Amino acid sequence: MTANDNVTPTTTAGPKPGVTVDDIPSSAPLPASQLATIKATAPVLQDRGEAITKLMYENMISAHPELHNVFSTVSQVTGRQPRALARAVLTYALYIDNLPHLAHTIERIAQKHVSLFIQPEQYDIVGTYLIAAIKQVLGDAATTDIVDAWTAAYSILANLFISIEKKLYKSEGDWTEWRKFRIAKKRPEADGIVSFYLEPVDGVTPLPKFLPGQYVSLQLYIPHLKYNQSRQYSLSLGPEDDDKFYRISVRKNRDDKLKIDGLISNLLHDKYNEGDTVELSHPQGEFILNPSDVSKEGAPVVLISAGIGATPLVSILHALSKPTAVKRPVSWIYTARSKHSQPFGPEVQSLVDGPLKGRAWQHVHLRLGHDGKVKGRLDFDTLDWDGELFVQDSRAEYYVCGPEEFMLYFRSKLVELGVAKERVYLELFNTGDVEEA
């Protein structure tokens, strides 16, 4: 576990080569006394975990400024990163004797690490400063037994991630470091949303295949910070559409609550043009659909998105439109402020009217009324539960992407109607995991 993470149980969709539940032991191999010690510290971590992780970050990055290149500066400023790690540590304590409960989340984190080229020695750095922060924050309460137990527990989890990530790195062949890509095309998609078509500078194609819904990490040098920063962007074309470039679609971003502009997204919009270069990692991610899974023949796919959350879903739609894909009915429920802020509108319609005709439907819900007033969140109860959501079909799968509150709202409503939670997949564009109340 690195300090980028939040080990909250989550569901994923579909297989990812190189990572299996068999990689996860049933329990951390610790003596019973240390397992008991770890679980007994959970209430303390719930109360003081964020203080521990905040101090850890401050001390660690001060001593190792090169880690600015790894951790999100914006997530540090917002407090999301310390909060995510605090939840990770707490959840590990709660499930240390039932690690398979965390298998999907461990898989998700491992793929994120590989997309950032995390190395084994960085686990040692995080572990050193995490344990030191536990000692400092807990003071006399940090007994030798507690410190020894947490040192051993962290080492076990770190080695588990290192092992899984080694397999993932091996599966990626020669792509072992940040790779330069040139912006071949920069095209507007909607108000505040631009697509970048990225081709490898080294000219080596075809590019590696990916599964629809996956992302790449993109790294830029930030002049005023004097170090690199990276962000994850969903690939917004299908894996069979073109093997000479990747497409990402980026929204110009601002946090209205904290008045923080999107660091990478806004730089891409304002400063990067055709011919400029960026650095990418190999595609990763577990928010995926396997379009050739014959066991899913006829099972409905429901795509639910708000705003820029359409990006991984349009990749899924492209994949389902190919002749090699199994035939599944598709419903896409899309909400946007206005028609001008809806990305991929004509592109999606051409798929619905073309290769997916008769088995795919697009339902667009605009929040800007004819009177010029912006309506609130899309009301779930106004939807056609059978025609749009297929709630009566126990095989239906739901892919939801948008703001956290939007995703949690839709998942809770679907579960209320009897949809199994494990059939509802969420994709978060932020550090850590969905922060449920």
User: In this structure, are 119 and 212 located in the same domain?
Assistant: no
Instruction: Return the CATH number at 417.
Output: 3.40.50.80
Pair 214, 329 in one domain: no
What does the pLDDT look like over 214-244, one tens digit per residue? 999 999 999 989 999 999 999 999 999 999 9
Q: Is residue 211 part of a domain?
A: yes
Q: Are residues 32 and 156 in the same domain?
A: yes
CA 318/CA 352 separation, integer angstroms: 10
Average per-residue pLDDT in the chain?
89
- Statement: residue 132 has pLDDT above 90: yes
Q: Is residue 97 part of a domain?
A: yes
Q: Which residues are catalytic?
A: 123, 165
Question: What is the C-alpha to C-alpha distance for residues 278 and 200, in angstroms, rounded to an integer?
Answer: 10
Indicate if 302 and 352 belong to the same structural domain. Answer: yes
Is there a single domain that holds both residue 216 and residue 250?
yes
* pTM over cut 0.85: yes
Considering 147, 171, 195, which residue would you say is the last residue of a domain? 171
Q: Which of 113, 148, 171 is the last residue of a domain?
A: 171
Side chain identity at residue 109, one-letter code: I
Q: Count how many domains the chain has.
A: 3
**Residue 423 within a domain:** yes
Tell whether the model's pLDDT for residue 293 goes beyond 80: yes
Range of the domain at 382: 294-427
56, 131: one domain: yes
Nearest CA to 67 out of 115, 119, 109 is that of: 119
189 and 145 in a single domain? The answer is no
Q: At residue 313, does pLDDT exceed 60?
A: yes
pLDDT at 3 over 70: no
pLDDT of residue 18: 45
420 domain residue, yes or no: yes
Residue 11: pLDDT over 70: no
In this structure, the answer to whether residues 305 and 350 fall within a common structural domain is yes
- CA–CA dist 157, 155 (Å, integer): 6
Do 73 and 128 lie in a common domain? Answer: yes
Q: Is the pLDDT of residue 48 over 80?
A: yes
Same domain, residue pair 66 and 100:
yes
Confidence of residue 369 (pLDDT cuts 50, 70, 90): low
Instruction: Read off the CATH number of the domain in which 127 is found.
Output: 1.10.490.10
Out of 138, 171, 204, a domain closes at 171
> How far apart are the C-alpha atoms of 249 and 344, rounded to whole Å?
10
pLDDT at 107: 87
Which whole-number Å values give the CA distances from 374 to 337, 338, 341, 406, 422, in the listed order? 7, 9, 13, 16, 33
Is the same domain home to 66 and 205?
A: no
How confident is the model at residue 157, as a pLDDT? 92
